Structures are given as structure tokens and as C-alpha cells.
Amino acid sequence: MSEIQTRFRIGDVVFKAATVQDSKQHPCPDCLGSRKWTATSPAGGEYTFECPRCSTRFQSHDALCLTYIVRSPSVAKLTIGSIRVDTADNNPVSYMCRETGIGSGTIHYEHDLFATEEEATAAANLRAAKETAEIDWISKLYDKTLSLSDYQLENAVTAATRKARIDFEVAADNLINDLDESETRGDVRARVDEFKKAIAA
Ligand SMILES: [Zn+2]
């Protein structure tokens, strides 16, 4: 039987490479980043109000929203508190750390831990870029926000409405074709549920 060597010992300070979900924002083409609009009344009064494109009011209308999700790198400094070796596990060496609980708490796999902050940062950067590109719904959301982020508010509303109408027409067209070919009541029910989900997205 081969013996597994662990890279770290109890008491070692290590750096964990991880990623976190992060919300970012495309630059706003309406307020140019100031987040404020000013208006002058006919009587000459000047008013300042929050940019409607950047303010939270559009959160529910995500086609107009400038925010998008990415995976960002994250590095944590930890101290090894216990070591677990399980030869049957795909990740045979894992650790528990003083900062995150020993006995019960977070399990840290050896491949996520590094001796220096530089190594952990490089690994976390690489993983964040890979995850952001690979996670389908994130890249779709990014494309969607990017396609509308350059429009100024008025045009963005028009473009978003047009896109929503086209999406709906395509979904309805597919639904009718599929219903035509459905043989059982169950098929119909499943297809209708799918359609409802598609138009809600
Ligand atoms: Zn704005």
C-alpha cells in the first residue's frame, strides 16, 4: 500500500483559492457614471434625481439592467488545524482549519490550498475566469446585459420590448409545433409547463 504524503502540517499557515459570486455593472450610458440626472423646471428650479437606469427600479426588468454576475477570485488565510486522509476519496487529503472550525466546520481540500498568497491568488484568478466563461446562465446573462448596455434609456426600452416580443413569438411557435406532435395528455402538460417556464425566464 502506498503512503499518502500530505503537503501541510498542523499549525501551517496556508492560503485558500476560491471563487465567489459577484455583481458588476456595465458603465451607464445615460448618466455617464454620475448616477444622477438633473432637470430644470420652467420656473428655473434645478432638481437632481437618481438615474433611472442605474437605480434599483429596473431590477425587475433585467433586460434594461446594467448589472451582471461574474465569479470573482477570493483568497483566505487559514491555519491548518486537523488533517484527514481518505484513500477512497477522489480528493484523498483534506484539512480543517482553526479559522473555519475543527471537528465540525468547513472541509478544505488540499488542491485548493497553497503555501503562498501569490500562488493562491493566481489559482483563484484562473478559476474565476474559467467559471465565469463556463457557467452557462452567467455568460447568457452577460451577453443579454451587454447587448442592451450601450443603448440610452429610451432606445433600451424599445430594444428590450422588441427582443421580448421576438422571444415570445419563437417560444409560441415551438409550442404549437410540439403540441401538434404530442400524443398523450401528459406530453401536453409537460410541454405547456416548459413553455410557461421559458416565457417567465
Ligand atoms: Zn445611470
pLDDT values of the chain reduced to their tens digit, one per residue, 201 residues: 567 789 999 999 999 999 999 988 888 888 888 888 888 888 988 899 888 888 765 555 666 778 888 899 999 999 999 999 998 988 999 999 999 999 899 999 999 999 999 999 999 999 999 998 888 777 777 887 888 788 888 888 888 888 888 888 888 998 999 898 888 999 899 988 888 887 776
- Ligand 1 midpoint to CA 152 (Å): 9
- Ligand 1 midpoint to CA 145 (Å): 14
**Residue 163 carries which side chain, given as an amino acid letter?**
K
- Ligand 1 midpoint to CA 148 (Å): 13
- Ligand 1 midpoint to CA 161 (Å): 20
- Ligand 1 midpoint to CA 45 (Å): 22
- Ligand 1 midpoint to CA 50 (Å): 8
Contact indicator for 118, 73 with CB cutoff of 8 Å: no
Residue 58, C-alpha cell as written in the block: 429596473
Cα-only R_g, the chain: 26
Can you tell me the distance from the alpha carbon of 31 to that of 8, in angstroms, rounded to the nearest whole number? 52
Residue 57, C-alpha cell as written in the block: 427600479
pTM over the 0.85 mark: no
- Ligand 1 midpoint to CA 37 (Å): 8
- Ligand 1 midpoint to CA 144 (Å): 18
- Ligand 1 midpoint to CA 181 (Å): 48
Residue 142, C-alpha cell as written in the block: 452577460
Each domain of the chain, given as residue ranges in start order, spans: 13-26+66-148, 153-200
| Strand order through the sheet with 108-109 | 108-109, 93-97, 67-85, 13-25, 113-114
Partners of 47 in beta bridges: 39
Burial string for 82-104 (b: 16+ CB within 10 Å, else e) reads ebeeeeeeeeebbbbbeebeeee
